[in-house]
Amino acid sequence: MIILKLGGSVITRKDRDKPTLDPVNLDRIAQEIARSNVDELVIVHGAGSFGHPYASKFEIGSEITDEKEFFRKKRGFTLTQNAVQNLNHYVCNFLLKHGIPAIALPPSSFMVCENKRIKTANLEMVERYLEMGMVPVLHGDVVLDDNKNIQMAVVSGDQIITYLAENLKPERIILGSDVDGIYNRDPKAHPEAQLLPVVNSMDDLEFLEGARTVDVTGGMAGKLKELLDLAEIGTESEIINAGNAKIVECALKGEKVRGTLITKNV
């Protein structure tokens, strides 16, 4: 089984504050997935500009101080869910158009968090659809949280990947981002940044000049933390550029592509 993440930065225009799809990338990636003919595949996509504007406006995951705030957050929760489900609908449409038997599985309907980490999830449906030869399509979502002070949390596609990997034991995990992999500093801000072919510790980055950029921009640092945890329990993952043609297809087929391998520190 392969778990493939499609970054919100690739399938949406993440620089927009309104939900904006990137239909060109999505159509191309769906074709590449179809051509790769993977036997058992689970897809998880990010929320991009569909989820983040609502989740941050309503501060989902922050403490609920009173009844009024509770009411406001519930509205934010449902609006965010609706927006990411819209994105999921587009993603599945493109996959289906290219013959991939995609089946939507929104995490908000079967996962629960505790302190913003996934606590329980009924993965039986994921497994049953896989056994049927279908391709479950999950996504970064909002989910209920058992911590009474917050009650609702945002769960990233990256956290979902980690949880699925721990429980489903895939052969490979591939994360398609809009950059070639992990660099010694943010490649968008620093054109001279160098790609790291292998990363096995957060220290790899912290000792390097400009590594704090990673934290400031958020995305890559959070992703890397999740993936290093996974590497520790023996599951490697690869970050590749899904924004460039043929990379997803070649990676799915097991061909060597430019990217970063996240592996255990030995």
Q: Site for ligand ATP (CB under 6 A): which residue of 43, 105, 182, 252? A: 182
Region 110-149 residues binding ligand IPE, contact defined as CB under 6 A: 140-142
Q: Site for ligand IPE (CB under 6 A): which residue of 7, 107, 181, 259? A: 7
β partners of residue 41: 2
Gap between the Cα atoms of 235 and 224, Å rounded: 13
Backbone angles phi, psi at 166, to 5 degrees: -65, -35
Gap between the Cα atoms of 211 and 10, Å rounded: 23
How does DSSP classify residue 62? S
Binding partner at 177 among ligand ATP, ligand IPE, none, C-beta below 5 to 8 Å by kind = ligand ATP
Q: Site for ligand ATP (CB under 6 A): which residue of 28, 73, 116, 185? A: 185
Indicate whether 22 belongs to the interface with ligand ATP (CB under 6 A): no
- Minimum Å distance from CB 97 to ligand ATP? 22
Region 34-63 residues binding ligand ATP, contact defined as CB under 6 A: 46, 48
Which segment (32-40, 44-52, 119-127, 183-191) binds ligand IPE by CB under 6 A?
44-52
The encoded tokens of residue 140 equal: 């970064």
Which segment (24-32, 49-57, 66-74, 86-94) binds ligand IPE by CB under 6 A?
49-57
Indicate whether 46 belongs to the interface with ligand IPE (CB under 6 A): yes
- Minimum Å distance from CB 93 to ligand IPE? 19
The residue length of the chain stands at 266
Gap between the Cα atoms of 78 and 73, Å rounded: 9
Residue 36: closest CA among 178, 248, 237, 180: 248
Phi-psi category of residue 119: left, alpha or beta, with phi > 0 → left and psi -120 to 50 → alpha: alpha
Indicate whether 21 belongs to the interface with ligand ATP (CB under 6 A): no
Gap between the Cα atoms of 92 and 102, Å rounded: 6
Indicate whether 187 belongs to the interface with ligand ATP (CB under 6 A): yes
Q: Where are the alpha helices (DSSP H) in 46-181?
A: 48-57, 67-97, 124-131, 157-168
Residue 42: closest CA among 223, 163, 145, 142: 163
- Minimum Å distance from CB 132 to ligand ATP? 27
Indicate whether 88 belongs to the interface with ligand IPE (CB under 6 A): no
Indicate whether 22 belongs to the interface with ligand IPE (CB under 6 A): no
Indicate whether 154 belongs to the interface with ligand IPE (CB under 6 A): yes
Q: Applying CB under 6 A, which residues contact ligand ATP?
A: 7-10, 14, 46, 48, 157, 177-179, 182-183, 185-188, 213-214, 217, 219-220, 223
